[in-house]
Structure 1
């Protein structure tokens, strides 16, 4: 029996109600709707005309929600082949000219994305939702993620948001960034970092 294709809808904005496909559960996790809603309620108007980087994109549901709500440019980063296919399909439902996809390892590709931001003199929201470290081969994923955050140049960062397992202790300071707040949703927590 073929597995039923998982989907989710864009919650609000220009593309509200558009159906996004989700990649298979084994390779990626989809951010829960409640997490998404809370996040976008927090940013609401700040996202308009902003640049947005979704570091581990999966289906791209966060970046495409940002696009729907008025962000002008989205950078997507994804390594998994199936997820990439799904991501590109989802982008085609919205505005592909506002989206750039970087395929391959996010820890390497972040440099290319930062170079683009520097060249355009842009700062961006970085949404970082690494695979849970309980998955095989992902044991050091959070250490690498914290190093990635610390490496981001402050001139190109508006806000950093990390979606992570609730049990994970995230330090108050990562490089030059300070924890602004954390919000817990069951097993998932959003932690916000900025420069102040």
Structure 2
């Protein structure tokens, strides 16, 4: 007789057979139902221009750092009048918040680049207009970015900047940015707590 089966008669009348049968059975506990937790979505808004109030989805705060509202306001208060004839490029774009704000303030075009230097080169090649370059790298306090500023300076020094009109560099306030990048002179610096803005013009 197959040990996996037992007759009803033997189960009730033969203790040894019943014991042997029960020992072979694998009793599995009931499966626990796991609750699916919804990931909280983060949003921000365009703060000025024709798309003011439009909601934008933000990536995880563990991987990106969104530009502070006061910093963003300063940038566009300075450049708003020039944006109509300019292309705005946001490097280290994250959610492309600054590029969206630039379009809302009538930039001719806006590009956001996230981890793809080739896209920036293509934007330069395709552009026949003066360009505003906005640099918003992760702060050097983040793991793996200790030399991020040196890499950016090296990148800019070896880049053809002929089509650029203005460079805006968002950085940690403890960082002293160079007075000159190629033929671009630092013309203004604004501080907002731990965040600062450096403006360069040719």
The TM-score, its normalising length taken from structure 1, stands at: 0.79
Q: Which residue of 104, 108, 112 corresponds with 1:72?
A: 108
Structure with the bigger RCO (C-alpha within 8 Å, sep 6+) is 1
Q: Which moved more, 1:29-38 or 1:168-177?
A: 168-177
Alignment of 1:10-159 (within 5 A): 10-79=46-115, 104=116, 106=117, 108-117=118-127, 121-159=128-166
Q: Larger Rg: 1 or 2?
A: 2
Q: Is the 8 A contact 1:52 1:73 kept in 2?
A: yes
Structure 2 alignment gaps of length 5 or more: 1-36
Question: Deviation at 1:174?
Answer: 1.8
Distance, in Å, in 1 between the alignment partners of 2:120 and 2:80 is 25
1:155 counterpart SS class = coil
State the Cα RMSD in Å.
1.5
Question: Deviation at 1:151?
Answer: 3.0
Distance, in Å, in 1 between the alignment partners of 2:149 and 2:185 is 17
Q: Is the 8 A contact 1:114 1:152 kept in 2?
A: no
Number of residue pairs aligned between Structure 1 and Structure 2: 166
The TM-score, its normalising length taken from structure 2, stands at: 0.77
Distance, in Å, in 2 between the alignment partners of 1:44 and 1:30 is 20
Could you give the per-residue CA deviations for residues 83-137 of structure 1, whole angstroms, max 9, x where no partner exists? xxxxxxxxxxxxxxxxxxxxx3x3x5433332222xxx22200000011112122
Structure 1 alignment gaps of length 5 or more: 80-103
Q: Which residue of 161, 169, 188 corresponds with 1:162?
A: 169
1:28 counterpart SS class = coil
